[in-house]
Structure 1
Amino acid sequence: MDGATSHHPGIPPASEYVDALGAALAQHLIPDAELPPALADAIRDTARALGLAPGRSPSSTVAIVRIAVETVSVLLLGDTTVIVGRTDGNHEIHTDDRLGALGIPQAAEYRRRLAHGSGYDDVHRRLLRELQERQREQRNRPGGYWIAEADPSAAAHAIRLDIPRNSVSWLVAATDGAREPIQSLGIPWTDIAQQSADELGALLRTCHSWEAETDPDGRILPRSKRHDDKTLAVVRL
Structure 2
Amino acid sequence: MRVATAMLPEAASSQDRILVTNTAVIVLDGASAFVPVDVPTSTYVDTFGNSLIDGLAAKPQIPLADLVAQSIKETSSALDLHPDAAPSSTVAIARHDDEGLDLFVLGDSQIATPHGVYVDTRIDGVAQEERARYRARLAQGYGFDETHRELLRALQAEQARHRNADDGFWIAEAAPNAARHGLEVRMSLDTTPWLVLATDGAYRPMRHLSLDVWANVAKLSGVELASLMRDLDTWEDCEDPDGLTLPRAKRHDDKALAVIRYG
Shorter-chain TM-score: what band?
Answer: over 0.9
* SS of match in other structure, 1:165: coil
* Distance (Å, rounded) in 2 between the aligned partners of 1:117 and 1:92: 35
* SS of match in other structure, 1:28: helix
Amino acid at match of 1:47: S
* Distance (Å, rounded) in 2 between the aligned partners of 1:223 and 1:5: 17
Amino acid at match of 2:248: R
Mapped pair 1:54 → 2:83: yes
User: What is the match of residue 106 of structure 1?
Assistant: 130
Q: CA deviation at 1:25?
A: 0.2
Most deviating of 30-39 and 8-17: 8-17
Most deviating of 169-178 and 98-107: 98-107
Mapped pair 1:93 → 2:117: yes
Q: What does 1:156-195 align with in structure 2 at a 5 Å threshold? A: 156-187=180-211, 188-195=213-220
Q: Say if 2:69 and 2:180, in contact at 8 Å, map to a contact too.
A: yes
Instruction: Decide which of 49, 61, 80 is 1:32's aligned counterpart.
Output: 61
* SS of match in other structure, 1:168: coil
Q: Give the unaligned 5+ runs of structure 2.
A: 1-27
How high is the sequence identity, in percent, across the aligned residues? 44
Q: Say if 2:106 and 2:120, in contact at 8 Å, map to a contact too.
A: yes
Amino acid at match of 2:96: I
- Change over 3 Å in CA distance of 1:7–1:146 after alignment to 2: closer
Mapped pair 1:228 → 2:253: yes
* Distance (Å, rounded) in 2 between the aligned partners of 1:155 and 1:11: 24
Instruction: Could you list the structure 1 runs, at least 4 aligned residues long, displaced by more than 4 angstroms after superposition.
Output: none
* Distance (Å, rounded) in 2 between the aligned partners of 1:38 and 1:132: 28
User: What is the match of residue 143 of structure 1?
Assistant: 167
Mapped pair 1:63 → 2:100: no
Most deviating of 97-106 and 208-217: 97-106
* Distance (Å, rounded) in 1 between the aligned partners of 2:166 and 2:156: 18
User: What is the match of residue 88 of structure 1?
Assistant: none
Instruction: Decide which of 145, 148, 158 is 1:121's aligned counterpart.
Output: 145
* Distance (Å, rounded) in 2 between the aligned partners of 1:146 and 1:178: 21
Count residues in correspondence: 232
Mapped pair 1:83 → 2:107: no
Amino acid at match of 1:229: D
Mapped pair 1:209 → 2:221: no
* Distance (Å, rounded) in 2 between the aligned partners of 1:139 and 1:171: 28
* SS of match in other structure, 1:140: coil
* SS of match in other structure, 2:70: helix
Q: CA deviation at 1:199?
A: 0.7
Most deviating of 44-53 and 5-14: 5-14
Q: CA deviation at 1:103?
A: 4.8
Amino acid at match of 1:36: A
Q: Say if 2:127 and 2:158, in contact at 8 Å, map to a contact too.
A: no
User: What is the match of residue 73 of structure 1?
Assistant: 102
Most deviating of 44-53 and 119-128: 119-128
RMSD value, Cα? 1.2
Q: Give the unaligned 5+ runs of structure 1.
A: 86-90
Please report the TM-score for the alignment, with normalisation by the length of structure 2. Answer: 0.85
Structure 1, residues 197-224: CA drift from partner, whole Å, max 9, x if none?
Answer: 1111111111111111111000111001
